[in-house]
Amino acid sequence: MMMATSSNSMVVNTSFDALSPLKLPTISKFKIGLCQLSVTLDKNQNLIHARNSIKVAVEQGAKLVVLPEMWNCPYSIDYFAKYAEDFDDDKDASPSFSLLSEAASCHGITIVGGSMPEWNDGQLYNTCCVFGPDGKLKAKHRKIHLFDTDIQGDISFKESDTFSAGDEPTIVETEMGRIGVGICHDIRFPELALLYRAKGAHIICYPGAFSMSTGELFWELVQRARAADNQIFVATCSPSRDSTGFYKIWGHSSLVAPVFEQVLSGEMIATSGCEETVVVAEIDYSAIELQRHNIPLERQRRRDVYEFINKSEAEP
Ligand SMILES: NC(=O)CCC(=O)C(=O)O
């Protein structure tokens, strides 16, 4: 069952009971563009930058473009509220929203619009908007798992001091397939990806800004894990490391395929370094079918055994 939510997302019902069979979209082979942007203190500059970068991706053939987490605002607690926009009240008054909508319609592409700080009803959210080729908003995902960390002598950062957490998973039907959306720290939670896979997603897009402290060890690992576990494509897009702020960003925007050259599962097929760049790579959703044929995880899954997880969680 598909439901329209208050936040405008076409969200697939969140129960695990019904497994959506894989259905490939009409266009199942196309190019994706990942715009790894350098984010400055100058919001206007960030917007111009994003528009130019989307154009570069389109010129290289991208039909689906992904932007980074916080592409219009430095990734810093000090700036989130100052740079936030309200996308619901008057969309024309939101320059970032309008830019994404116009870019999508002008180029006739689907845009997973990274994330931006959003004001709504007095709450601040870390929000990703997805636009279709007609420029209309198709979905809005609010980061579900906020990034709070305290690593002694290294990094201390608490998104939850500023942001409220979203509480809805987001899967959106687009011409470029059924897209699950997560924002950065959301990628660490296999349950969310499993839910998207169960609901027939072809790709999960995670705009992200992993830190230098955790990026080297975890960024590639979690992308490949989500792709391999779920036999699905995973795309990530980060700001570049030279972005403004004390928070140092890992970068490395990437595309991971469920299978590569017949056998390799969860293989990185395109990636970047830490500098500003646009990564354009080909997606072929038939790789999902191939990998699920090669190793039919879904048939082998033992839900009867995993029942204990739910039961143990239910205990006080
Ligand atoms: N912006 C984020 O959510 C960062 C997440 C991160 O770095 C992690 O290690 O998790």
Catalytic residue among 43, 138, 143, 199: 143
Instruction: Give the pLDDT band of residue 91 (cuts 50, 70, 90).
Output: low
Average pLDDT over residues 270-274: 96
Q: CA 144, CA 86: separation in Å to the nearest integer?
A: 19
**Quick check: CB of 70 below 6 Å from ligand 1?**
no
* Cross-strand partners of 132: none
Q: CA 10, CA 170: separation in Å to the nearest integer?
A: 7
**Closest ligand 1 atom to Cα of 214:** 9
Q: Which residue has the higher pLDDT, 263 or 21?
A: 21
The verdict on whether 158 is a catalytic residue reads: no
Instruction: Give the pLDDT band of residue 214 (cuts 50, 70, 90).
Output: very high
Ligand 1, atom 10: closest residue by C-alpha = 185
Q: Tens digits of per-residue pLDDT, 300-310?
A: 998 888 876 66
Q: Is 18 in a helix, a strand, or coil?
A: coil
pLDDT given at position 95:
96
Ligand 1, atom 4: closest residue by C-alpha = 210
**Quick check: CB of 218 below 6 Å from ligand 1?**
yes
How many Cβ atoms sit within 10 Å of the Cβ of residue 47? 17
Ligand 1 centroid distance, CA of 27 (Å): 32
pLDDT given at position 264:
64
Q: Tens digits of per-residue pLDDT, 148-175?
A: 999 888 888 899 999 999 999 999 999 9
pLDDT given at position 12:
47
**Quick check: CB of 209 below 6 Å from ligand 1?**
yes
Q: Tens digits of per-residue pLDDT, 23-78?
A: 888 889 999 999 999 999 999 999 999 999 999 999 999 999 999 999 999 999 99
Ligand 1 centroid distance, CA of 210 (Å): 4
Instruction: Give the pLDDT band of residue 7 (cuts 50, 70, 90).
Output: very low
pLDDT given at position 303:
85
The verdict on whether 237 is a catalytic residue reads: no
Instruction: Give the pLDDT band of residue 89 (cuts 50, 70, 90).
Output: low
What's the mean per-residue pLDDT of the chain? 90
Ligand 1, atom 1: closest residue by C-alpha = 209
Whether 19 has a pLDDT exceeding 70, the answer reads: no
Q: Mutation test of ligand 1: which of 127, 142, 149 has the most ligand atoms closer than 8 Å to its C-beta?
A: 149
ipTM: 0.98
Q: CA 283, CA 28: separation in Å to the nearest integer?
A: 8
Q: CA 244, CA 19: separation in Å to the nearest integer?
A: 43
| pTM summary value | 0.92
How many Cβ atoms sit within 10 Å of the Cβ of residue 167? 8
**Closest ligand 1 atom to Cα of 186:** 3
Pure H helices in the chain: 43-59, 77-83, 95-107, 190-198, 212-230, 286-294, 297-300, 303-314
pLDDT given at position 88:
79
Instruction: Give the pLDDT band of residue 13 (cuts 50, 70, 90).
Output: very low
Residue 197 identity: R
Q: CA 306, CA 311: separation in Å to the nearest integer?
A: 9
Ligand 1, atom 7: closest residue by C-alpha = 210
**Quick check: CB of 188 below 6 Å from ligand 1?**
yes
Residue 177 identity: G
The verdict on whether 143 is a catalytic residue reads: yes
Catalytic residue among 129, 184, 205, 237: 184
Q: CA 117, CA 83: separation in Å to the nearest integer?
A: 7
Instruction: Give the pLDDT band of residue 90 (cuts 50, 70, 90).
Output: low
